[in-house]
Amino acid sequence: MALTMLRIRRFTRISSWRRLAFFGSAFFLFWIFVFGLTPLTVPLPPYTGPHEVGILDVEVEVDRRIISEAVLKTGEMAFELSTLAITLYYPTDLAFPSTNTQTQPLARPWLPQPISMIGQGYARIAGITFPPFQSLFTFLLWALGSSTVIPGTVDAPILTSEGKILIDETGGVAGLGRIFDLANAKERGKDRDEVGGAELVGKGVEGARGTLPCVVFTHGMAGMSQSYSHYLGSIASHGIVVAAVEHRDGSGPGSIIHYPDGKKRTVWHLKPKDFLSEPTMTTGELQIAQLAFREAEIEETIKLLRHLNDGQGDKIQNLKPKSPESALAGFKDRLNMKAVTVAGHSYGATGALQTLKNAPSESMPINGAIMLDPGKGSGRLNKDIDIPILVFHSGEWTEKQVEFYGQGKHFDVVKKLVQSVKTGWFMTLTGSAHPSCTDAPLIVPWIMKLVTGTTLHSRVALKEYIDVSVDFLDFLRNGEKRGMLKSNVTSPDGPLGETENRNTVKGRDGADWEVHVVPDK
């Protein structure tokens, strides 16, 4: 009997090694086939607006506060806010020459460093704890994203007020006559309003003072601040400052907190089982704590933008390693702090909605919100809204209906929420998928198409999202409706209505939109 058991163990060990060798060889041959068939990754495309884009990772110390008393099994406080990390995307002057090319990188790597931390984080999200398999996640990330950079110049100076008004509303450069008039007026000390600066205000371009509107963006579950770089960079290229929050609420794969004294701590993706609680924390309780933490980070982001606009940029210590800070001083008097819009995707969209409970207010001077695929598994939706909102659904999000917290079908809940707002739009980009607003379909288009089943080209989908978002941001400043914002309702009940009542309207780039809710005229 003992001899038989020994033979079984030996056979099992041999079989295990054979299976590992077989699958390992198959995996290796698969990647050889992939590389030989088509390029694995595609560079990110240029931004869609008329301006060049500056990019800067910033981490600053904030007043320490405990958002939730939840404690991890490691003994650490899970929701202690002590530093804020954001990625800034902002317009810079056309044809900007780098002044420090010896030490300053021209582009930011798309993947944050270290890649091993991000790989391990995604493995943890997938429930994989075996180190060799976690290393496989790191390898895949390296293969898919290590060569990708975010277009833009690191630490470029923010767009000058003169550069802003030299761009007309169509994205073209103003004529030489206007340029010479502005130069002469500056030499004579005259206000730009006297040479037509005010004229451009009526056309939807920030005029006289040249101040720039702001957007605070909050990423989705398992996302990162740079996961939406093309969407956010393109918005910035239209003359808008975007601050993408790197959330430390345990929703991302991993993030390193850097303290002023040189110490650091890694925040990993969190699940209810990671907490020291009796009974075990529920998913709903975790979501409440995370969304509250996100709201606090958004508030701190707006506070940071206010400090930059007040001229405190040269006093800010950037805690993010190897990240410069010279451009921050140039943000003085360049931001329109009365035009701050909050935006988010998925979990971030639900969080963006939550911040509207306290807006507009002195601490939350928010004038509007953009939500991409809010709700479903990311928690209940705030209905206390008193400012204009724009809600996008991907085709996938609209078609796959679920019961939403006993309130009915998710689509109907979102529709009624938007209808209850005085000024709100709700529309679906048909043929798109939940990740269509992220960079992933741009970098690995054929893989994402295979996984999501989307029928809309990734570049077209993102261009449509960008176009309507920029039109909405312009509407918030000047009240002018353009593009999709001028459409009537084409599909009042979406997937819950009759097929013949689901009509579409063409977007600027040829995609089909279903429009479900528009403001009352």
Give the catalytic positions in this structure: 346, 373, 434
Distance from C-alpha of 518 to C-alpha of 484, rounded to nearest angstrom: 10
Question: Would you say 345 and 220 are in contact if contact means Cβ atoms under 8 Å apart?
Answer: yes
Q: Residue type at 385?
A: I
Distance from C-alpha of 425 to C-alpha of 392, rounded to nearest angstrom: 8
Question: Would you say 212 and 51 are in contact if contact means Cβ atoms under 8 Å apart?
Answer: no
At 375, give phi and psi (nearest 5°): 85, -145
Distance from C-alpha of 8 to C-alpha of 2, rounded to nearest angstrom: 10
Helix (H) or strand (E) holding 1, with range, is none
CB atoms within 10 A of CB 194: 12
Question: How many CA atoms does the CB half-sphere of 179 hold within 13 Å?
Answer: 8
Q: Residue type at 419?
A: Q
Distance from C-alpha of 103 to C-alpha of 471, rounded to nearest angstrom: 38
Helices vs strands, H then E, count in the chain:
14, 15
Question: Would you say 430 and 456 are in contact if contact means Cβ atoms under 8 Å apart?
Answer: yes
Distances (CA, A) of 159 to 113, 116, 204, 473, 474: 28, 35, 17, 18, 18
Question: Would you say 245 and 301 are in contact if contact means Cβ atoms under 8 Å apart?
Answer: yes
Reduced to 3 states (helix: H, G, I; strand: E, B; else coil), residue 370 is: strand
Distance from C-alpha of 241 to C-alpha of 339, rounded to nearest angstrom: 11
Distance from C-alpha of 68 to C-alpha of 18, rounded to nearest angstrom: 49
Could you list the beta-strand ranges (E) of 181-240.
212-218
Strands 149-150, 108-109: pairing kind: antiparallel
Distance from C-alpha of 460 to C-alpha of 468, rounded to nearest angstrom: 12
Q: 167: which DSSP letter?
A: B
Name the CA radius of gyration of the chain, rounded. 25
Q: Residue type at 283?
A: T
CB atoms within 10 A of CB 21: 10
User: Hey, CA dihedral for 30, 32, 35, 41, is it positive or negative?
Assistant: positive
At 244, give phi and psi (nearest 5°): -95, 120
At 280, give phi and psi (nearest 5°): -60, 135
